[in-house]
Chain A
Amino acid sequence: MENFSKLLSVDYLKIYARSMLISLMTTVLCVLIGYPFAYVIARTKSKSRQLLYMLVIIPFWTNSLIRIYGWRSFLGNSGWLVKALQYLHIIQEPVDFLYKTGTTVLGMVYCFVPFMVLPLYTAIEKLDGSLLEASSDLGARPFHTLFEVILPLTSSGIFSGCIMVFIPCLGYFFVSNILGGGNTDMIGNLIERQFKSANNWPLGAALSIILILLTLLLVKLYQKLGGDMENLGV
């Protein structure tokens, strides 16, 4: 009972809200970056398409923690970015880019953009080129073709990409640990703490039930929108 009242305390509600906000921003950014990117590589005609695709996967082969740590050393107040900006006289004093919501979002986008690109790539690659020609033949400007033909036909890829980004993002505690430095705690950090330091397993389990319910809800929504479960998975 005590746990449940804690679940609804103001501090916790703030963290839920922040988690949702960070996940949402991550998802939106992933779509905005991932879609045009996936479109260009999926529509590359030559053999290099296979290579371009592989280049999206290669970063996975370096430990994700160490890559996030790479961002930290790049963005930190004695990091390379600050040095470069000072060298270019854009800034005079060192600026700390770390420990902000934006930094956590950047790390999350970094971790999850491939999960958006891969389903989009699959959906766009299936798109029949003659449909685009037909659309422009019938008088549609590129802008109209995008909204009338391309987006509707690849919407399944967008949906599955969003599912694959939004939900796992909620639990990725180490990104906010490394880049957010405790200022951007998410629901995942709360759960981790209950199991690893606070030793309050029941509370941790209760928190994870929130995540499970949210997952089921979003998957249901995904299916309602006509999403196919088979499109999930890499």
Chain B
Amino acid sequence: MRKRAKEKRKKGLSVAFCSAVYLFLFLPIFVVVANSFNATTSKPYLSWKGFTFDWYIKLWSNSSLLESFGNTMIIAIASTVLSTVIGTLGAVGIYRYKFKGKGIINGLLYIPVVIPEIVIGIALLTIFSNTGVPRGMLTLILSHVSFCVPYVIFNVRARLSGYDASIEEASMDLGANRVVTFFEITLPVLAPGIAGGALLAFTLSIDDVIISYFVNGQTKTYPLKVMESIKSGVSPDVNALSTLILLGTIGLVVLTQSGLLSGKHNKV
């Protein structure tokens, strides 16, 4: 009896602790969502003046906010596509071939992951200004690709480590040449890793502040727009857009994850 009571107490304690951590993680998100329904119209939009959907309507007439969101989406999609292609080919190449300097390349991949983002930001800024590349959409996309590629490589490589290379040999043995084998076998089997990498790249790109902050020029992304407005108080339509983005991402992820998880071939 004593043992069971002890177990119960232990379980209760861990549930309470985890709930507290989740509360900590989600608390500011509740604040953001709640503020998007705040009827206040005076800066800094902090005191609660009642419930309204107005901000969700006003949002559509805030052209600079919408434009910054559009920029973020363009950059996120472009850099996700590019970094996924580069990262996938890179991961497969590193996995398959032995070449001089492989160890160095492997080591260098971790640098962007651990080094403070601000260092990457000013490094890219210096490169762009020294080479005279005009700062804007292009430099933003290039910068996002550069910090997303390692994450895609890690994701695809994690998939590759459980990968039985003999299935490619089997494919060639059964009459498929290298190109057919890549598209019929390699790519579909790596798909979950690639999708995971792409999702991560997309997430990192839409959320990036620090690096974008240095290389943006006149182009405003959505996070930079938020940063700008923080000084004078973030207006609830920004909160409304954030809420919509959160819902959109959750929807997207539920869609892709359920599609991937329901596939019967998850375990190799």
Instruction: Determine whether A and B are in direct contact in the complex, meaning some CB atoms lie less than 8 angstroms apart.
Output: yes
- With A37-B21, A73-B35, A233-B110 as contacts: A110 and B28 at CB distance below 8 Å: yes
Whether a CB of chain A sits under 8 angstroms from the CB of B226 is: yes
- Chain B 30-65 interface mask (CB, 8 Å, partner A; 1/0): 111001000000000011000000000000000000
Query: Within B221-237, which residues are at the interface with A (CB < 8 Å)?
Result: 222-223, 226-227, 230, 234
Contact call B151/A233, Cβ cutoff below 8 A: yes
Please tell me which one of the listed residues A36, A74, A168, A204 contacts residue B122 in the complex, with CB atoms under 8 A apart.
Answer: A204
A52 to B107, CA, bound (A): 32
Whether a CB of chain A sits under 8 angstroms from the CB of B246 is: yes
A220 to B29, CA, bound (A): 37
Contact call B230/A178, Cβ cutoff below 8 A: yes
Query: Within A108-126, which residues are at the interface with B (CB < 8 Å)?
Result: 110, 113-114
Contact call B28/A74, Cβ cutoff below 8 A: yes
A68 to B223, CA, bound (A): 12
Query: Within B90-148, which residues are at the interface with A (CB < 8 Å)?
Result: 106-107, 110-111, 113-119, 122-123, 125-126
Chain B residues contacting A114 (CB-CB under 8 Å) are 25
Chain B's nearest CB lies how many Å from the CB of A23? Answer: 10
Contact call B114/A62, Cβ cutoff below 8 A: no
Chain A residues contacting B35 (CB-CB under 8 Å) are 70, 73
Chain A residues contacting B115 (CB-CB under 8 Å) are 167-168, 211-212, 215
- With A55-B22, A60-B203, A69-B234 as contacts: A163 and B119 at CB distance below 8 Å: no
Interface stretch, picked from B166-174, B185-193, B207-215, is B207-215
- Chain B 1-35 interface mask (CB, 8 Å, partner A; 1/0): 00000000000001001100110111111111001
Whether a CB of chain A sits under 8 angstroms from the CB of B242 is: yes
Chain B residues contacting A40 (CB-CB under 8 Å) are 14, 17-18
**In the complex, what residue of chain B is closest to A58 when comparing beta carbons?**
B250
A191 to B122, CA, bound (A): 9
Contact call B116/A215, Cβ cutoff below 8 A: yes
Chain A residues contacting B75 (CB-CB under 8 Å) are none
Contact call A56/B31, Cβ cutoff below 8 A: no
Chain A residues contacting B119 (CB-CB under 8 Å) are 171, 208, 211-212, 215
Whether a CB of chain A sits under 8 angstroms from the CB of B256 is: no
Chain B residues contacting A60 (CB-CB under 8 Å) are 203, 207
**In the complex, what residue of chain A is closest to B203 when comparing beta carbons?**
A60
Query: Within A187-229, which residues are at the interface with B (CB < 8 Å)?
Result: 188, 191-192, 195-196, 201, 204-205, 208, 211-212, 215, 219, 229
Instruction: Classify the secondary structure of B's interface with A.
Output: helix
A233 to B91, CA, bound (A): 14
Please tell me which one of the listed residues B46, B106, B230 contacts residue A76 in the complex, with CB atoms under 8 A apart.
Answer: B46
- With A171-B210, A215-B115 as contacts: A65 and B230 at CB distance below 8 Å: yes
Contact call B226/A63, Cβ cutoff below 8 A: yes
- With A62-B245, A69-B234 as contacts: A167 and B122 at CB distance below 8 Å: no
A215 to B151, CA, bound (A): 19
Chain A residues contacting B239 (CB-CB under 8 Å) are 66
**In the complex, what residue of chain B is closest to A71 when comparing beta carbons?**
B28
Whether a CB of chain B sits under 8 angstroms from the CB of A94 is: no
Query: Within A45-68, which residues are at the interface with B (CB < 8 Å)?
Result: 52, 54-56, 58-68
A-B contact pairs, 12 of them (CB 8 A): A54-B253, A55-B25, A61-B207, A70-B35, A114-B25, A168-B117, A171-B119, A172-B117, A191-B118, A196-B213, A208-B123, A233-B150
Interface positions of B (Cβ within 8 A of A): 14, 17-18, 21-22, 24-32, 35, 46-47, 106-107, 110-111, 113-119, 122-123, 125-126, 150-151, 154, 200, 203, 206-207, 209-210, 213-214, 222-223, 226-227, 230, 234, 238-239, 242, 245-246, 249-250, 253
Q: Which 6 A-B pairs have the closest CB atoms?
A: A171-B116, A70-B28, A171-B118, A70-B31, A61-B249, A233-B154
